[in-house]
Amino acid sequence: QVQPVESGGNSVQAGGSLRLSCAASGYFTNNNCLAWFRQAPGSERVGVAGISLSGITTFYAHFVKGRFTISHDSAKNTLYLQMNSLEPEDTAMYYCAVRRGGCRWYEGAWSLRPIEFTSWGQGTQVTVSS
């Protein structure tokens, strides 16, 4: 199956906005969970936001709540991440990934653990300057 392909990364100033896209043809089935992750140099990959294609569930990491919005367009097989009020701490490579079988409820929350997800894209770079 074709890997997801991310795009939309760029360099912006603090307070700016970006919208990331992930072309994920073949992955838009109702029993899949799609998510965005990010990884800064020298740091572990962490979950940013997730969405269940079987319903309307969306979930976010605490550090992006209220600033980022995950959405999808099934007709275009595309996942989005709208990022507003960007901060220098948001600088990272951003990846989209897929979990077959739906989003997982883990320890009282929807899981954004990278180990839960397969079918990763190559990433798109976001750089936020102060």
Sheet containing 68-73, strands listed edge to edge, beginning at the edge strand earlier in sequence: 5-7, 18-23, 78-83, 68-73
pLDDT tens digits for range 46-97? 999 999 987 779 999 999 989 999 999 989 999 999 999 999 999 999 999 9
Can you tell me the distance from the alpha carbon of 120 to that of 103, in angstroms, rounded to the nearest whole number?
16
Q: What is the pLDDT of residue 43?
A: 97
Q: Is residue 30 pLDDT above 80, yes or no? A: no
- As a residue count, the chain comes to 130
